Amino acid sequence: MTRVVRVDIAHAPYDILIGKNLLSVADRISSLLPQPRVAIVSNTTVAPLYMQPLVASLEAQGIVCQQIILPDGEKYKTWESLNLIMDALLTERAERKTTLIALGGGVIGDMTGFAAAIYQRGVPFIQIPTTLLAQVDSSVGGKTAINHPLGKNMIGAFYQPRLVLADIDSLSTLPDREFSAGMAEVIKYGLIDDPEFLAWLEVNMDGLMARDEVLLAEAIERCCQNKARIVAADEKETGQRALLNLGHTFGHAIEAGMGYGVWLHGEAVAAGMVLAAYASQALGHLITQDVERVIAILKKTKLPVVSPSLGGAARFKELMAQDKKVDAGRIKFILLRQLGEAYIGELPESAIDSALLAACEADK
Amino acid sequence: MTRVVRVDIAHAPYDILIGKNLLSVADRISSLLPQPRVAIVSNTTVAPLYMQPLVASLEAQGIVCQQIILPDGEKYKTWESLNLIMDALLTERAERKTTLIALGGGVIGDMTGFAAAIYQRGVPFIQIPTTLLAQVDSSVGGKTAINHPLGKNMIGAFYQPRLVLADIDSLSTLPDREFSAGMAEVIKYGLIDDPEFLAWLEVNMDGLMARDEVLLAEAIERCCQNKARIVAADEKETGQRALLNLGHTFGHAIEAGMGYGVWLHGEAVAAGMVLAAYASQALGHLITQDVERVIAILKKTKLPVVSPSLGGAARFKELMAQDKKVDAGRIKFILLRQLGEAYIGELPESAIDSALLAACEADK
């Protein structure tokens, strides 16, 4: 049974389909195309697994498919890779009505979406996320970007897809480490504003980690519903959408500080959420048992709960100051009033120090 | 007296101010800034003339100004220059509420607007066009872009400024060749849908070429009114906005074929409009006297009316096929039903050939 989540953005509503065997059913895609022509962007890991059935299914409907294969990994989420997409589209004379399809994880989705936003000032775009992280988070809501050496996701656009196809079959080939990384974003939704879901995750995490398909579909649907609700209310992140960045200001510092791709995004977010929990405790919102509960569920998913020190608190803070959530030099943090209730606020220096002390590995 | 033209785009209306001594009056800018901080992008030609008064005026109001100076010329409308802007913004930690100001001609405006569209997924943006072409055309309507070796303006975004400040004082330092190039776009508005304005231009062209300030302000206002009306009705160019590209499909082929910057954009558009006129004659819409009238007014402005052959008709058509106005392999041309009435249509091979034969210099 295919589950459908509607993303009700006023100017461009669209559906997320969650189910099995979606990749080989092109009907839903073809009905959305303004011309029978697509360019599918994937990477060297995902393409050998899923490109062929997708292309076969589309070609059977008379759709011309261009394939663009990029190297795999966060460190390739760059200008250079974006340019490879542009070069390929222009060489093949892709047109304004040619639809770009992202087939892959968060990196492919972010880059393909950004390419769709800027090629000829914008062409249609469809997301086919193949990782857990992309299915529950990055493929939904229209945030697209590339990294810059001075900061993660610093160059990009808000640009909505016309459809998201989340095929849980594709999770079967996902390496354990990637699967765990996706689970960080799943847990995030529970911590932000869905304490009931957090409790459900605690009960069902063993089954989820065993990749039980019914539980997975249930979790993905719940995450997408939560994200759709938040994004529909605040597409451009002028307010509450920022809550989705729980753990991300700390996490982006880890990713940039370690070098993009050394830690997976979800791993950095996991360690970042622990830091946010400690900081929230320093502010007097959480008690020790709350922080331990956060750590416990992350540990169950094999995610890191201790952050690298990045050379000390001064350097860690410098990296965080490069975040997008900075206003007049002050970083806006996502903090926890309690588990299942996040808010946007500032952190006094002392609370940051105390969190770094509690959650970072000792400096050598 | 400052003239005001309102651009009534539903989600983001804004004003175009046309007048004198605007550069040194920062009040209108400062009232729009979400934080007292701007980054002004200009080039090595314009900055020495106008950066200092603008910065002095802004700083007097307590606004912090970052200056980013790029090399001058269409050939620098590239990824590389865009990256220089990104590097400078990130190095200085420009924030989401920092406003980008474009101070210069069409190239600076297009690149700065695109930088504003993609820096941290979008920051506020103000246009201060200093050339005639930018004041009457490129600064209004939110088309931003960079060039790609395979096509002009192929990478970009629709992204509206919050204000356009057209200071006619800045036209006094404009080289004759640049001034003429801007006049090509002025004449374009008459040809598209304003036959009364075309007749006015024919009467007043001597005064305009002598840079009579009252006539210039009148012409700029009329062009901005026409553009504002068209853009407000069709922001993303799904229909009638394409009329503004009269002469541009031919013109872009000239610019790309000659190498960006060899011909100025306005020069290529002038020769392109002559080609469009000949093509419209081949279709039976215009008579010889109409085409001669187009040529005559362009000649009065010292604009080229004979196109380079670009190595022959085959190559010319190949370059045009790289245009954004291509649908299922067919180029959409902007043609003239009569002078002052443009429409979007296709051209049979024979009409293209006949236009190229009539308007291109003989092949060597």
Q: What's residue A237's pLDDT?
A: 92
- What's the pLDDT tens digit per position in B189-231? 999 999 999 999 999 999 999 999 999 999 999 999 999 999 9
| Residue B42 backbone phi and psi in degrees, to 5 | -145, -170
Is residue A324 one of the residues assigned to a domain?
yes
In the residue annotation, B252 being an active-site residue is answered as yes
In the residue annotation, B143 being an active-site residue is answered as yes
- Kindly give, in sequence order, each residue whose CB lies less than 8 Å from that of residue A312, ignoring residues fewer than 6 positions away: A363
Q: Find out whether B107 is annotated in a ligand binding site.
A: yes
Domain boundary among A102, A135, A170: A170
Q: Could you give the dihedral angle defined by the CA atoms of residues B59, B61, B66 and B67, in that order, rounded to the nearest 10 degrees?
A: -60
B117-129 average pLDDT score: 98
How many residues make up chain B in this entry? 364
- What's the pLDDT tens digit per position in B295-350? 999 999 999 999 999 999 999 999 998 888 888 889 999 999 999 999 999 999 99
Q: What's residue A98's pLDDT?
A: 98
Residues of chain A with C-beta less than 8 angstroms from the C-beta of B326: 93, 95-96
Q: What's residue A364's pLDDT?
A: 43
| Most B-contacting residue of A121, A244, A344 (CB-CB within 10 A), to test interface | A121
CA distance linking residue B311 with residue B316, whole number of Å: 7
Chain B residue with Cα closest to A117 = B157
Q: What's residue A151's pLDDT?
A: 87
Confidence of residue B364 (pLDDT cuts 50, 70, 90): very low
CB contact under 8 A, B95 and A326: yes
CA distance linking residue B191 with residue B248, whole number of Å: 13
**Residue B24's domain is classified under what CATH number?**
3.40.50.1970
Q: What's residue A363's pLDDT?
A: 55
Domain boundary among B135, B155, B173: B173
Domain boundary among B112, B144, B173: B173
Q: Is A225 helix (H, G, I), strand (E, B) or coil?
A: helix
Is residue B364 one of the residues assigned to a domain?
no
Q: Tell whether B208 and B321 lie within a shared domain.
A: yes
Q: What is the 3-state secondary structure (H, E, C) of A31-86?
A: CCCCCCEEEEEEECCCHHHHHHHHHHHHHCCCCEEEEEEECCCHHHCCHHHHHHHH
| Most B-contacting residue of A147, A155, A325, A330 (CB-CB within 10 A), to test interface | A155
| Strands annotated E in chain A | 3-7, 14-19, 37-43, 64-70, 99-104, 125-129, 143-148, 151-158, 163-167, 326-327, 330-331, 333-338, 341-345
Residues of chain A with pLDDT under 50: 364
In the residue annotation, B178 being an active-site residue is answered as no
- Kindly give, in sequence order, each residue whose CB lies less than 8 Å from that of residue B359, ignoring residues fewer than 6 positions away: B271, B274, B275, B278, B305, B306, B307
**Residue B289's domain is classified under what CATH number?**
1.20.1090.10
Q: Tell whether B120 and B138 lie within a shared domain.
A: yes
In the residue annotation, A11 being an active-site residue is answered as no
CB contact under 8 A, B35 and A328: yes
Marked catalytic residue, from B143, B188, B222, B285: B143
Q: Tell whether B137 and B231 lie within a shared domain.
A: no
- What's the pLDDT tens digit per position in A169-213? 999 999 999 999 999 999 999 999 999 999 999 999 999 999 999
Q: Tell whether B85 and B185 lie within a shared domain.
A: no
Chain A residue with Cα closest to B153 = A120
Out of A95, A155, A236, whose CB is closest to B118?
A: A155
Rg of chain A in Å (alpha carbons) = 20
Per-residue pLDDT for B363 more than 70? Answer: no
Chain A residue with Cα closest to B91 = A150
Q: What's residue B326's pLDDT?
A: 87
Is residue A85 one of the residues assigned to a domain?
yes
Residues of chain B with C-beta less than 8 angstroms from the C-beta of A321: 93
B134 C-beta neighbours (distance < 10 Å), count = 27
Q: Tell whether B134 and B192 lie within a shared domain.
A: no
Q: Would you call B143 an interface residue with chain A, using a CB distance cutoff of 8 Å?
A: yes
Number of domains present in the structure of chain B = 2
Q: Tell whether B97 and B163 lie within a shared domain.
A: yes
In the residue annotation, B241 being an active-site residue is answered as yes
Q: Tell whether A134 and A25 lie within a shared domain.
A: yes
Q: What's residue B1's pLDDT?
A: 81
**DSSP single-letter state for residue A361:** P
CA distances to A263, B133, B322 from B158, rounded to whole Å, are 35, 19, 20
Q: Would you call A344 an interface residue with chain B, using a CB distance cutoff of 8 Å?
A: no
Mean pLDDT of chain B: 95
CA distance A195 to chain B (A): 31
Q: Tell whether B34 and B153 lie within a shared domain.
A: yes
Assess contact for B253 and B313: CB atoms under 8 A.
no
Marked catalytic residue, from B252, B255, B267, B285: B252
CA distance B145 to chain A (A): 8
Q: Would you call B256 an interface residue with chain A, using a CB distance cutoff of 8 Å?
A: no
Q: Tell whether A147 and A9 lie within a shared domain.
A: yes
Q: Would you call A331 an interface residue with chain B, using a CB distance cutoff of 8 Å?
A: no
Q: Would you call A83 an interface residue with chain B, using a CB distance cutoff of 8 Å?
A: yes
Marked catalytic residue, from A245, A255, A267, A285: A245
In the residue annotation, A221 being an active-site residue is answered as no
Q: Tell whether A283 and A327 lie within a shared domain.
A: yes
Q: Tell whether A19 and A156 lie within a shared domain.
A: yes
B350-363 average pLDDT score: 90
Q: Tell whether A116 and A100 lie within a shared domain.
A: yes
In the residue annotation, B3 being an active-site residue is answered as no
Is residue A199 one of the residues assigned to a domain?
yes
CA distance linking residue B105 with residue B77, whole number of Å: 12
Q: Would you call B10 an interface residue with chain A, using a CB distance cutoff of 8 Å?
A: no
Is residue B348 one of the residues assigned to a domain?
yes
CA distance B140 to chain A (A): 16
| Domain carrying residue A180 | 176-359
A141: tokens are 């809501």
Marked catalytic residue, from A185, A221, A235, A267: A185
Q: Name A104's bridge partners.
A: A129
In the residue annotation, A188 being an active-site residue is answered as no
Is residue A364 one of the residues assigned to a domain?
no
Q: Would you call A204 an interface residue with chain B, using a CB distance cutoff of 8 Å?
A: no
Please name which of A171, A285, A283, A274 lies closest in space to residue A220, comparing C-alpha atoms: A171
- What's the pLDDT tens digit per position in B272-284? 999 999 999 999 9
Dihedral sign for Cα atoms in the order A214, A218, A221, A227: negative
B338 C-beta neighbours (distance < 10 Å), count = 13
